[in-house]
Structure 1
Amino acid sequence: MNFLAQGIKKHYGLENRSILLFFLASFLVQAAMGSIGVLLNLYILELGFSEDFAGTVMSAKLFTTGLVCIPAGLICSRWGVGRVLAAGSAALGLGILTVSLTASPGLLLAGAVLIGSAMAIKAVSVPLFLVENSSPRTRQNLFSLNFALMMFANMAGTALSGYLPVFWENARAGLAGTLGLYGILALISILPLAFIAPQRGSTSNPGGQGLLDLKIILKDKNLRRLLVSHSLIGFGAGLIVPLFNIFMSNKLGASSAQIGVIMSVAQIATALGGLLVPLVVGRLGQVATVVVLRLASIPFLIMIANLTNIYGVGAAYFLRTTLMNMTNPVESNLTMELAGSNRVGMSSLLSSMNTITRAISVLAGGWIMVKYSYGVPYYFTCALYGITTLLFWAWFRPERQRENQPSE
């Protein structure tokens, strides 16, 4: 048994104590974020607001994420990634608590801004932290393990958030109280982060130049293409993902408990799929893995748009979510490899572009649902996913093939 444990530690690079503390904190943070995915829109609707306003809150959260990504990268280089992660936990906890304690539109938007700031910090800091605390040999394994653990955490958050509201006297109090509990959980995650040993050198910029040399990044053909690819995928995802619980609630009449179960099953499947990612990458390569998984997810989007049975939609949702999200650790590792010494700037810029496009499209998604139907945004997303995936293959496959060819 001890031999097996040592083998697992070596395989994933878990000898590093900072990684274990990071995983503990991230589990708590991701569980809190999972609760937001289930409860926030439902809470806004329970307060008497429309789908349009729910889309506005989601858009404010995502716009903030996009805008904060670049300064988050700058702060990482000056404070260290561990401190920035702790600041993100504080922002997340305070944001969720703000939302849970108010029915004011202004304060709901303020809470969304804090939550969006926390999401930006997480998006920028986590890949940098994993790169700093891993070797090239264990990096893909560690990215995949982190992805799987975060999916399990998200599953725990979504599952409990679907059932906890019933312990309050009414739906509004239950949703607010459950959000408050997760806000406290996010604040608790600061404790393990406080014990992470600071890493120096990896994200610092001793030359005194600006961290984000945008000219260098934008002159690199591969990095420009990554930015375009992520922006298009982000726009497509923003049309449907933030509003899926509204889709389930209003179109299919699903309860918060049913939505929580469906999202939890999707997270379990995604987590298990994430553990298989290194095997798939080893057989197909990074680029082909991304392309195959993305294309395989598109038929399930079409099923979600057309099915009227909650169980059929739930099955299609968790298959689509699993296939699409399995590409995340592969793309993160690929981005870090292509960015090289510009990985801090690229991580910030990539997260910024991805979330800003989501912020724009979530407004469009909410408007389309109100104006036309709940299914129409899914067709737009299918088209964007298909076009972007073909571009991704055309752009990156030749370079990766040449890179993998043995030198003569």
Structure 2
Amino acid sequence: MRPGLGRALSSVGKFGRNAKLLLAATAVSGLTQGAYFSVWQLYLKSAGYGGTWIGTYALIGTVVATLLKLPAGLLADRFRRKWIAAVSFAAAALSGAIVALSVSEEALIVSAAVGGVGWGLGGPAWSALFAESVEDAGMDLGFSVSAFVSSAATSVGNLMGWIPEFLVRSLGLGYFEAYRWFMWLVVAIEASSILPVILVSERFRPPTRGSGGLMKLRMFSKRLISAVVVTYALVGFGAGLSIPLLGYYLSVKFGVESGPIGTLFAVTNVAAAPAFLFAAEVSARLGTVRGAAALQAASIPLLALIPLAPSFAAASALYIPRSVLMNMANPLINALVMELTPEAERGTMASISQLSWNLPNSVAQQIGGFVMDALSLDAPLYATSGVYAIYVTAFYLMFGGLERERGNGGE
């Protein structure tokens, strides 16, 4: 199947009710994430926190999520996945409410931990649940459409970063007050994402007791685990050094606030949305591994040039294509991993992949935030570029053989 952009969009009509409900939840979640990440780091900055505390918050949440990933994956293969996913959305909303109420250090720690519970608990269940919903239509297409929907919704959420600017200029609020009111709006939107998940009619039925688990993954999946752990750990660590801190980085380097930064993220997501659909075409022409490696390799020089940009506009011109190229391969990689994993083991495999990404990413965020504040604002971006180069090489070498075996029908 080689869908172009129009054909991919028209294929959405072939998705079943469950897939459409989950895409609706994806849209609401994307809107929330776009709004949240446009202001979150600036909210903490306006409260007097710097890059070190922003990194610490991320570290706490990611460590909690990491500790839950493997048990959450096992739970997702033994219980109804939609209820686990619904609880995770509720925890995310509660995390936002806590930090909207208070920005004390204690509140930030509790908020980060609760958010980590939601992230860690829901990720494996969500991946397995969505894979089930699009299996008949094709996972390459399904995950690409999901990424398109998420990106489009996130771009709208990014533009909501102008709401605090409006509150400051029109109502005379300070940035801290404006950001706090905006956080409550984000919490309300996040809570609404629970409903479509609850309405899903899940096909998966947990296996009977004693039917297996992590230790009974078939040999092909055990080999897949090695590739997943190494590559996900590399890309997670590389990303953590600078990518989650880019809002803070751009604000400090160029003196911009949530409006321009939110607009940049919105434009990036608008550009990425059709690119996610085109990713299925790249996969059909080059193969998943070659196509993903080529796209991600092309993004690395653009990232390395951002510290040399003389203005926010110049940095934005590099950031947008960098993000599109790096991220448009993600749905292909996710689909490949799910396709190579038996349905009854997908929750466990999703937890392994997310665990492998989260732990190095959380450590790297702490390192990146400290380096930006204490040593060099630009150094983490250069470090990310170097680690990404190693990751792309490892991904191509390790997943290439697995893809060839899948094509040959081997185990």
Q: TM-score, normalised by structure 2?
A: 0.91
Cross-structure match for 2:3: none
Q: 1: CA distance between counterparts of 2:153 and 2:93?
A: 16
Partner of 1:390: 393
Residues 1:323 and 1:9: Cα distance change in structure 2 (over 3 Å): closer
Please tell me whether the aligned partners of residues 96 and 179 of structure 1 are also in contact (alpha carbons under 8 angstroms): yes
- 1:208 positional shift: 2.5
Supply the distance in 2 between the matched residues of 1:140 and 1:120 (Cα, whole angstroms): 24
1:268 is displaced (CA, Å) by 1.1
Distance 2:247 2:87 in 1: 29
Tell me the residue number matched to 1:367. Answer: 370
Q: 1:198 to 1:401 in 2, by over 3 A?
A: closer
Q: CA deviation at 1:399?
A: 3.9
Change (3 A) 1:283 1:186: same
String of CA shifts for 1:47-84, please: whole Å, max 9, x gaps: 11222111101111222222222232233234412111
Aligned residue number for residue 3 of structure 1: none
2:124 & 2:142 partners in 1: Cα distance? 17
**Unaligned residue ranges in structure 1 (runs of 5+):** 1-6
> Is residue 338 of structure 1 aligned with residue 349 of structure 2?
no
From the superposition, tell whether residues 216 and 305 of structure 1 become closer, same or farther in structure 2 (CA, over 3 Å).
farther
Q: Does the CA contact (< 8 Å) of 1:252 and 1:308 recur in 2?
A: no
Aligned to 1:323: 325
Matching residue's letter, 1:282: A
Q: Check conservation: 1:43, 1:176, Cα contact below 8 A.
A: yes
Aligned to 2:88: 88
Deviation at 1:312, TM superposition (A): 1.0
Tell me which of 170, 182, 186 is aligned to 1:182: 186
> What SS is found at the alignment partner of 2:77?
helix
Flag the 1:63–1:36 CA change in 2: closer, same or farther, 3 A. farther
Question: Secondary structure in 2 aligned to 1:49?
Answer: coil
Assess, with a 3 A threshold, how the Cα gap between structure 1 residues 378 and 80 changes in structure 2: closer, same or farther.
Answer: same
* TM-superposed deviation, 1:240: 0.9
Residue 162 of structure 1 and its aligned partner are, at CA, apart by 3.7
Residue 274 of structure 2 corresponds to 272
8 Å contact 2:160–2:262 — kept in the other structure?
A: yes
2:120 is equivalent to residue 120 of structure 1: yes
* 1:233 equivalent among 235, 246, 251: 235
Letter in 2 for 1:295: A
After superposition, the Cα gap between the structure-2 partners of 1:48 and 1:137, relative to the gap in structure 1 and judged at 3 Å, is closer
The percent identity for this pair of structures is 25
Q: Which structure 2 residue ranges, 5 or more long, are not aligned?
A: 1-6
Are positions 1:200 and 2:204 aligned together?
A: yes
How many angstroms apart in 2 are the aligned matches of 1:218 and 1:369?
Answer: 42
How far apart are 1:335 and its partner, in Å?
Answer: 0.7
> Over residues 179-235 of structure 1, what are the superposed CA-to-partner deviations in whole Å (9 max), with x where a residue is unaligned?
11110111111222222113233xx23243564338768982332122110010000
SS at match of 2:341: helix
Change (3 A) 1:398 1:210: closer
Q: Greater shift after overlay, 119-128 or 286-295?
A: 119-128
Distance 1:318 1:9 in 2: 23
Q: Deviations over 1:59-110 (max 9, x none)?
A: 1122222222223223323441211121111111111111111021111121
Q: Which amino acid aligns with 1:148?
A: F
CA contact (8 A) 1:217 1:223 kept: no
What's the TM-score once normalised by structure 1's chain length? 0.91
Is contact 1:296–1:323 with CA below 8 Å preserved after alignment? yes
Aligned partners of 1:78, 1:391: CA distance in 2, in Å? 33
Q: Distance in 2 between matches of 1:213 and 1:12?
A: 37
1 CA distance for matches of 2:303 and 2:147?
Answer: 22
Between the aligned partners of 1:91 and 1:380, the Cα distance in structure 2 is 33
Counterpart position of 1:358: 361
Aligned residues, how many?
399
**Alpha-carbon distance in structure 1 between the residues aligned to 2:9 and 2:384:** 40
Deviation at 1:34, TM superposition (A): 2.1
CA-CA distance at 1:293 after TM superposition: 0.8
SS at match of 1:95: helix
CA–CA distance in 2 between the matches of 1:151 and 1:48? Answer: 31
Determine helix, strand or coil for the equivalent of 2:241: helix
Secondary structure, aligned partner of 1:30: helix
**For the structure 1 residues 9 and 39, does the alpha-carbon distance in structure 2 shift closer, same or farther, using more than 3 Å as the test?**
closer
The residue type paired with residue 239 of structure 1 is: L
What is the CA distance between 1:402 and its match in structure 2?
4.9
Is the CA contact (8 Å cut-off) linking 1:124 and 1:347 kept in structure 2?
yes
Partner of 1:73: 73
Per the alignment, residue 107 of structure 1 pairs with 107
For 1:217-296, list aligned pairs within 5 A: 220-296=222-298
Q: Pick from 296, 303, 306 the counterpart of residue 304 of structure 1.
A: 306
Q: How far is the alpha carbon of 1:154 from its aligned partner?
A: 1.3
Query: C-alpha distance in 2, partners of 1:217/1:315?
Result: 45
Q: 1:13 to 1:64 in 2, by over 3 A?
A: farther
The CA deviation string for residues 275-328 of structure 1, in whole angstroms up to 9 with x for no partner, is 101111000000001110110000111111211310111111111111111111
State the alpha-carbon separation in 2 of the partners of residues 119 and 162 from structure 1: 27
Partner of residue 403, structure 2? 400
Q: Which amino acid aligns with 1:138?
A: G
Larger deviation: 8-17 or 119-128?
8-17
Structure 2 CA distance for aligned equivalents of residues 404 and 324 of structure 1: 25
- The 1:322/1:107 distance shift into structure 2, 3 A limit, reads same
Q: Which amino acid aligns with 1:41?
A: Q
Alpha-carbon separation, structure 1, partners of 2:380 and 2:365: 10
In the alignment, is residue 36 of structure 1 matched against residue 36 of structure 2?
yes
After superposition, the CA RMSD in angstroms is: 2.3
The question of whether the paired residues in 1 share the 8 Å contact of 2:225 and 2:352 is answered with: no
**Partners in 1 of 2:15 and 2:366 — Cα distance?**
45
